[in-house]
Amino acid sequence: MLRSKAKPLQATVFEVALCANRPVRSLHPCHDSVTSLVDAVDRLVQAVSSSVNAVY
């Protein structure tokens, strides 16, 4: 249940990050921060998923 909700959330965060950096012509300086943001969200989603799995 939570996993199916988590993936669209992750995709949305990624899209928002990309949109936020879109005005910048060269994406290179921003790429690391976008990647680390997505990684952080992914870790958060995994932590929540495993916590929920442990509870239920």
Count other C-beta atoms under 10 Å from residue 24's C-beta. Answer: 10
Count helices and strands (H / E) in the chain.
Answer: 2, 0
Look at residue 7 in the predicted model and tell me its pLDDT: 59
Write out the chain's pLDDT in tens, 56 residues: 455 555 566 666 666 666 555 554 445 555 667 777 788 888 888 888 888 887 76
Look at residue 33 in the predicted model and tell me its pLDDT: 72
Look at residue 25 in the predicted model and tell me its pLDDT: 47
Range of the domain at 39: 2-55
Instruction: Count the residues in the chain.
Output: 56
Look at residue 52 in the predicted model and tell me its pLDDT: 82
Say how many domains are in the chain. 1
Query: Element (H or E) spanning 7, and its range?
Result: helix 2-21
**Gap between the Cα atoms of 8 and 1, Å rounded:** 12
**Gap between the Cα atoms of 33 and 51, Å rounded:** 27
